[in-house]
Amino acid sequence: MIEFDLQERSTTTERPYVLSNMVTSMDGAVSVDGLSGGLGGPADFKVFMALRSLVDVIIVGAGTARAEQYKAPRPGAQAQRNRRNRGQSDRPLIVVVTASGRISPELPLFADPTYRPLVVAGADADSDALESLTSVADVARVATPVVTPMAVLDILWDRGHRVALLEGGPSLNGAFVESDCIDEWNLTLSPHLVAGASSRAAHGGAPSLRGFDLVHVWTADQLLFIQWRRRR
């Protein structure tokens, strides 16, 4: 179902290639009662796992990591072999973006002693809160109060990471759209109407038009999967 070629997704811009993965309802909602799980299904989970298994890093906002109770990724044995054959680590690195630094070290993401996520924090982040994370995560601080997409990508590039998966939330996605740092947009369209006050897949920042080319469309379990790549 998922086509992925590292050569095809290489970048010459001295930043990692960024692909996103989001699920929305037919009317654009990204969550029901604050969570995205009710919108997906088994086929969507397969896409989610396939994309995660192929990238060097997973970028997520602190709010999404809290709400969705992120855990350390656990690719299957075959996925790990494939990763090693591509020269990647057995598991993708999860990168949590936070301006404030106020993330509890008790989150499930930090529960695996064999796995250390990376927390990228703003210049004004709470130093005591960041210090409490150092036993369970690596911490990097940027030079500005707001953690910009390029600041995150510069850190990842310097650490040798070349392909990144952006998992939101919507505000972080919006920042990446505004900065024109999304190279590929993968969207699962759920067969539900939600209405309510749920956010859309990307919001915030200055409105802009970013042109993409349609690459793949496929369907399973009443879900519609769409893949676009940035038109350069």
Rounded CA separation 139/64 (Å): 18
Q: Does pLDDT of 17 surpass 80? A: yes
Rounded CA separation 135/232 (Å): 42
Confidence (pLDDT) at 12: 62
State pLDDT tens for residues 193-222. 988 878 889 998 888 899 999 999 999 999
For the chain, what is the largest distance between any 2 Cα atoms, rounded to a whole number of angstroms? 47
Amino acid letter, 123: A
Q: Does pLDDT of 9 surpass 80? A: no
For the chain, the average pLDDT equals 91
Rounded CA separation 4/96 (Å): 24
Structure tokens, 1: 């179902």
- For residues 101 and 125, the answer to whether their CB atoms sit within 8 Å is yes
State if pTM tops 0.85: yes
Task: Return all residues near 198 (Cβ < 8 A) that are at least 6 apart.
Answer: 25, 29, 30, 31, 32
Confidence (pLDDT) at 196: 82
Confidence (pLDDT) at 11: 61
State pLDDT tens for residues 46-97. 999 999 999 999 999 999 999 999 999 999 999 999 999 999 999 999 999 9
Q: Does pLDDT of 1 surpass 70? A: no
Q: What is the CATH topology of the domain spanning 17-230?
A: Dihydrofolate Reductase, subunit A (3.40.430)
Length of the chain: 232
